[in-house]
Amino acid sequence: MPALDEAGHIAEAIASVLPDRDAVACELLVLDGGSRDGTCAIVSALSAGDPRIRLVHNERRIQAAALNLAARLAHPASAYLVRADCHAVYPEGFVQNLVRTMQLREAVSVVVPLRTVGVTPLQRAIAAAQNSRLGNGGSAHRQGGISGYVAHGHHAAFDRRAFLRVGGYDETFTHNEDAELDRRLCAAGGRIYLAADLAITYFPRARFGSLARQYRQYGRGCARTLEKHASLPRARQMLPALVLLYAVAALPLAALMPALLIPLLLYAGACGLCGLALALKARDPVLLLSGPAAVAMHLSWAAGFLSHPGYWRTVLRAALRRKRPGLGVPPGSDAARVN
C-alpha cells in the first residue's frame, strides 16, 4: 500500500483490505513516501497491534517505486503481490478472492473495476462523471459487469515472479505506470484477467483544481507510454486533444468569426446535457456539476497529453521513415470475454 499524507483514509483502507489472520498467510507493507501528517503514526499504532503490518520508507516517493520495493522486500515465500490504495475501500475477502482468481484463470495479473463514490457534494458530482461513459471513455474496468481477459485495468494483484521477471513498474513514470506495465506483461505472454465481481470503492478528488492536476498528469503519462512503445493513441484518447487544439485555435479568432464558437458550444452543451441526465436519474441536483467536471477532466488530460514533446517527436520520426506506429493494444491480449 503506497502512502503519502493519507491520515484521513489509511486506517479504513487497511482495515478493509487486510484479511483475517486465519484466512491467508500474508503481510501488509505500507510504503510511505515521506508523509508529514499523522500517516506514519497511525500505521505504527496499527502495527503494534498486528505484526503483519510493516511500515517501510519509500525514498523515491512515487507509487511505481513503492510497488517495486514491496516486491523485493516481501517475504521469500510470498507468491502474489496485491496492490492496495489508501483512497479505496475493499470488499470482504478481497485478497483471498484475488488469489483464487489468479490460480483459476492462470493469469499473471488480476484487475478489478472501480466504483467511484463521493462524500461531499462536489465529490459526488466528480464521481458521477468518472462513472459515466462521458468521463471514462468506456474503459472496461470503469464499466464493470463483465469478467474476462483484457489488455488493461485497475491493478489489484500480480504473480510476484512474473512481476519481477518483466522488471516491475518503470520508475521513470509518475503516472500511467500501470498501463505501461500491462503492455510488457502481455508482450511477455502473460494474461490479464478482469474480475468484475471484485469491484472496489474509490474516493476521487474533491476539488476541481486537484482533479485537473490529476488528469493533466494522467494525460502526460499516457503520452509517455505511447512514446515508449511507439504506438498511436486510440480515437477516444485523441478526441479531448482535438477539442483542446480547436479551442486554442478558435478562441482568438472568435471576435472576428463568432461561428467558430459553435463546435465548442456544442461540446459544452453535450457535457451539460449528460450532467443533467445524471442529475435527473439520481434525483440529485448536485450532479449537474458532473458536466463541468467532465470538461475539466477532458481538457486537463488533453493538456498533459499534448505537453509531452517526446511523443510527438517519436510520431514525426516514424512518419518520416514511413513506419506506422502500432495502435495501442498490447500484443498477446485476449479480447474474448467470459461471464
Question: Which pLDDT does position 178 carry in this prediction?
Answer: 93
- Tell me the pLDDT of the chain (339 aa) as tens digits: 999 999 988 999 999 999 988 888 999 999 999 999 999 999 999 999 999 999 999 999 999 999 999 999 999 999 999 999 888 888 889 999 999 999 999 999 999 988 889 999 999 999 999 999 888 776 666 666 689 999 888 899 999 999 999 999 999 998 899 999 999 999 999 999 999 999 888 889 999 999 999 999 999 999 999 888 888 888 888 899 999 999 999 999 999 999 999 999 999 999 999 999 999 999 999 999 999 999 999 999 999 999 987 777 776 666 666 555 554 444 444 433 333
Q: Could you give the CA distance from residue 49 to residue 330 in angstroms, rounded to a whole number?
A: 44
The pLDDT value given to residue 337: 35
Q: Which three cell numbers stand for residue 315?
A: 510520431
First to last CA, the chain: 30
The CATH code of the domain at 2-206 is: 3.90.550.10
Give the pLDDT of residue 339: 30
User: Does residue 92 contact residue 122 with C-beta atoms inside 8 Å?
Assistant: no
Residues of the chain with CATH 3.90.550.10: 2-206
Nearest to 33 by CA among 64, 71, 72: 64
Radius of gyration of the chain (CA): 21
Q: Express the helix, strand and coil content of the chain in percent, nearest 5 each.
A: 55, 10, 35
pLDDT of residue 324: 53
Q: Which three cell numbers stand for residue 19?
A: 484479511
Element (H, E) at 57: strand 53-57
The grid coordinates of residue 181 equal 506495465
